[in-house]
A and B are shown apart, each in its own frame.
Chain A
Amino acid sequence: MYLAVVIAILITMLLALIRAIKGPTLYDRILAANIIGTKTVLIIATMGFLFGRPDFLDIALVYALINFIGVVAVLKYFEYGGFHFSGKPNAKKPEGKD
């Protein structure tokens, strides 16, 4: 019965992959990548129960952390055009103060 859950997660990942391939904008593709990352966490947890080895849950926890950091980093890159400090990187210092 765990196999049915794994198959359902795989179907969802396939649908998200199709959306990532034919997505009209960039943000659709990032959304699909985010969905695939979350479903990977679920599939690792379920596969651990399917094989009788729930030790895989540590890997699932680490993958959830990496997925969140990766999505936020990619979004920051495309929103600000780089990884530089997002305040005012080119602002001049007020004169007279040093």
Chain B
Amino acid sequence: MELLFTLLEWLCLLLGSIFLIIGGIGIHRFPDLFTRFHAASITDTLGAGFILLGLMIAAGMTLVTVKLLMILIFIFITSPSSTHALAKAAIHGGLKPKLDDQKDNQEKPS
């Protein structure tokens, strides 16, 4: 039973690390600000969620788990709202999303 919890903890931490690095690569490969939000969100939800879940399994039923749960709930509330505020400020600041301009060219058969 001890081994099962240890394995579950390392699995969660490993998945969280993988999602963090995926998000870090994603903010370099996406072409636009409004698509980079996806990559930024995946580090805030899946990456932080899995890492804090792994730490919660490691801590057991103590006060540390309660504090980790409070951090997790707070991140889950504030991360989408700050992303929403950022997108609203970018739209009001005059930044347009990049649209697909290739559609007209593809309709003509070459």
Dominant secondary structure of chain B at its interface with chain A: helix
Q: Are A25 and B43 in contact (CB-based, < 8 A)?
A: no
Q: Are B28 and A19 in contact (CB-based, < 8 A)?
A: yes
Given contacts A1-B10, A27-B90, A49-B55, contact A32 B27 (CB under 8 A): yes
Q: Are A18 and B28 in contact (CB-based, < 8 A)?
A: yes
Q: Once A and B bind, how many residue pairs between them come within 8 Å at the CB atom?
A: 125
Q: How many residues of B contact A (CB 8 A)?
A: 45
Measured between beta carbons, the chain B residues less than 8 angstroms from A11 are 20-21, 24
Given contacts A8-B21, A61-B74, contact A38 B43 (CB under 8 A): yes
Q: Are B89 and A61 in contact (CB-based, < 8 A)?
A: no
Can you name 13 A-B residue pairings with CB atoms under 8 Å?
A: A2-B13, A4-B13, A8-B21, A12-B20, A12-B21, A26-B93, A27-B95, A30-B86, A31-B36, A34-B83, A35-B43, A38-B44, A38-B75
Show the binding face of B for A, using Cβ within 8 Å. 10, 13, 16-18, 20-21, 23-25, 27-28, 33, 36-37, 40, 43-44, 47-48, 51-52, 55, 58-59, 64, 67-68, 70-71, 74-75, 78-79, 81-83, 85-86, 88-90, 92-93, 95
Show the binding face of A for B, using Cβ within 8 Å. 1-2, 4-5, 8-9, 11-12, 14-16, 18-19, 25-28, 30-32, 34-35, 38-39, 41-42, 45-46, 49, 54, 57-58, 60-61, 64-65, 68, 71-72, 75, 78-79
